Structure 1
Amino acid sequence: MSKIIIVGIMALTFLSCPSNSKKSNLSAQIDNSSKQDQSTLEASIIRGKNVYEDMCITCHMPNGKGVPKAFPPLADSDYLRAKQTESIKAVKYGMSGEILVNGVTYNSTMAPLGLSDEEVADVMNYINNSWGNTIENFVTIEKVSEL
């Protein structure tokens, strides 16, 4: 009888101990998810570069610095960092009126470009991760479509 009790206590102790394999599997799932998110972002950035080169480069220039007093910079832009939603709307719908970027007032018109939600998300991801920008905002198709 005492052997059964000892075996029972040992079994309960063994079963109640945390499993390293469960932790390893969870860590692996988190790592894979993170890698998948990074891979998705990288693919979006590549597509966004193509959109930028087709639709944006004429005004905002290859280096993202824009044209002084005519078209605002996207590189190191305080407006872009602080106003992501407004920036997404500008890419999707165009914009006009005064905006202040890096202490300079711009008052020109950006016509609607006719981009799909995916193209808007991709070009925003490209801009947010180019020319020294490191804006931690992965723009998704869903986010664009909500606007």
Structure 2
Amino acid sequence: MKFIAIKLIIALLVFLNSNIQAYSQSNPLKESTERGRLVYEDFCITCHLPNGEGVENVYPPLAKSDYLKINREASIKGIKYGQEGEIVVNGKVYNGYMAPLGLYDDEVADVMNYISNSWGNKNDKIVTEEEVSNIKK
């Protein structure tokens, strides 16, 4: 009887340990969006504002942005190299200039994950540093 109780206790401890490990594993998208928020606050907030709404007819909105969903690569390229020329966001034409921000590829990925998952945007497909590094001018 004592042997069975010990086996049950060991089985329970193994079960609990595996569940604790699964629960405590990192969430790469969540971690990236948290880092991306800091990048956004340092580089993007001045033009696109704290709520991501931008400035009508001047700086396009990032909030509820169809452009982010439809133009993933172009969005990454714009953050990585700057943006110039006409784009259409939520049915409105913007024809401005965004200077290159000088961000590293990991910072571009993080801020893309942040803006793609904030203010009504939802994208579960994480932007990775490798994806960003593969995008050329």
- TM tier relative to shorter chain: 0.7 to 0.9
Whole-Å separation in 1 of the counterparts to 2:82 and 2:47: 13
Show structure 2 runs of 5+ residues with no match: 1-17
* Partners of 1:128 and 1:137 within 8 A in 2: no
In the superposition, the TM-score normalised over structure 1's length comes to 0.75
Q: CA deviation at 1:137?
A: 2.3
* Partners of 1:92 and 1:117 within 8 A in 2: yes
Larger Rg: 1
4+ runs of 1 displaced by more than 6 Å? Answer: none
Cα RMSD after superposing both structures: 2.0
Distance 1:142 1:64, change over 3 A: same
Q: Report what 1:103 is aligned to.
A: 91
Q: Which has the higher contact order (CA 8 A, sep 6+)?
A: 2
Residues 48-89 of structure 1: CA distance to partner in whole angstroms, max 9, x if unpaired? 000000000001010000000000000111111100000000
**What is the total number of aligned residue pairs between the two structures?**
118
Show structure 1 runs of 5+ residues with no match: 1-27
Q: Report what 1:145 is aligned to.
A: 133
Would you tell me which structure has more strand in proportion to its own residues? 2
Q: CA deviation at 1:130?
A: 0.5
| Residue 114 (structure 1) aligned with residue 102 (structure 2) | yes
In the superposition, the TM-score normalised over structure 2's length comes to 0.80
